[in-house]
Amino acid sequence: MVQGFSREPGTHGPLTEVAPEGRRKITRWAAAIALGGFLFGFDTGVVSGALLYIKQDFDLNSFEQGSVVSILLIGAVVGATSAGRISEKIGRRRALGAIGVVFIIGTAIACAANGYLVLMAGRVILGLAVGAASATVPVYLSEISPTKIRGRLLTMNQLMITIGILVAYLVNLAFSSSEMWRAMFAVGAVPAALMVAASLWFLPESPQWLISHGQVDRARRGIAALTDEATADELIARARHRIDAERAKERGDKGPRDSGAADGGIRRLLTPDVRPALVVGLTLAAVQQCGGINTIIYYAPTIIQQTGLNASNSIFYSVFIGAINLLMTLVAIRLVDRAGRRIMVLVSLALMAVSIFLLGLAFVVGMNSVLTLLFMVIYIAAYAGGLGPVFWTLLGEIFPPSVRAEGSSVATAVNWVANFAVSLAFLPLAAAIGQGETFWIFAGICVLAFFFVSRYLPETRGRDPEQIEAALASRFGHPSGRQPTKAV
């Protein structure tokens, strides 16, 4: 729970084990926290089917259709940018509960919308919640996770995102015959209410947050309940030492000030020791979207419909795509703590580049709908088996603990800005240069990302924050006061 239950390098080895009941308890907490990821997936995926009927009810043109999808992403940028400050101020648990309330409000407005503008308002509010959840959940999961299963628990966020997308597709299918798009949105209120309830009565506060805010006794009780008193004392002593050292470094860099202030955390991201993590985090955040994934997630029914299938069949096939997304995410969860993060991202990007190039070719030369669906499925499988879940795992690992919330917040905001730009530009760009040619642009981005990752991303599996910082510094050619472990 504090720095992944691990000792400093060079001592008696990692404290990766907790009692079986403690591990089960942590897994239950992670599942509840990851309800934020479920709502992220549901509210970004449900619009794909609802849009087929909204455009008829409100007589939307192509720009208005794109804006109904993309306006959520503007709210998400604001929500992600604000999430770090809010969760640092009120704690991870309370922040998660507040996000659940915002989800409920946005859902109610969207369901009650009597026109385009009110629907847009509801989608903006949902976006605030989606963005805040996407920045808060990886940090919260990271701070309750033992090192040995940290990757698995962090990928639970992406698992819940994919479950949310699949459930959204199934909900779309269930209501497609009646064209009840309001009911499609309304289903999202149920997991939002569960998340609020979990934050009130079930979830603990992050021990890292408690220690950094002077609530050491609460942190000690929480850790001791999962390990033992001696381990709790040792982990807390390490955490306090790290916090004091980082605050001393920050005062030395910038002069005396309140190092717990939000603006200090943001400035700290630009210091030489943190900058490599920032560059990697922001680049991966942009690549995850600019590789084209959400053109498939958001517009799957529309894309499939363009192959000659009708609306109901296109929604049915989008459910199949969602199922593949979920299945491969489960595979990634099994691999992430075995194969490692770096190799999974490299393999994922290579397969994404090939499959989306072939998808583009299918549209350019007019291949049949079966081949088009096949290339879409391969692309989704490649993304879900690597870059999709592993990005969120890395986001909870690469930043030092003192700026993890701020680093996650900034990287997530970039992720949503890229998401917004791609989703808004996709239909107009496809109309201007061709849908196949647009997919080729995404393929080129995947190729460039492959070379970036091969050069600058170290392996983070099983490493402490200090080891990850040293490995990043080595990759970027920066001097580091700490020695990286062997494989970087």
Ranges of residues in the chain with a pLDDT under 50 are 3-16, 255-262, 481-488
Residue 255's CB is within 10 A of a number of other CB atoms, namely 7
- Alpha-carbon distance 66 to 48, whole Å? 11
pLDDT at 368: 66
Instruction: Evaluate whether 308 touches 369 at the Cβ level (below 8 Å).
Output: yes
Taking alpha carbons only, the member of 444, 317, 332, 466 closest to residue 391 is 332
- Alpha-carbon distance 9 to 465, whole Å? 10
pLDDT at 282: 95
pLDDT at 230: 67
Taking alpha carbons only, the member of 356, 364, 354 closest to residue 294 is 356
Taking alpha carbons only, the member of 125, 123, 130, 187 closest to residue 157 is 130
Tokens in use for 116? 């385009």
pLDDT at 252: 57
- Alpha-carbon distance 383 to 325, whole Å? 8
DSSP assignment, residue 402? G
Tokens in use for 195? 């998340």
Taking alpha carbons only, the member of 169, 173, 128 closest to residue 36 is 128
Instruction: Evaluate whether 400 touches 246 at the Cβ level (below 8 Å).
Output: yes
- Alpha-carbon distance 91 to 340, whole Å? 30
One-letter identity of residue 15: L
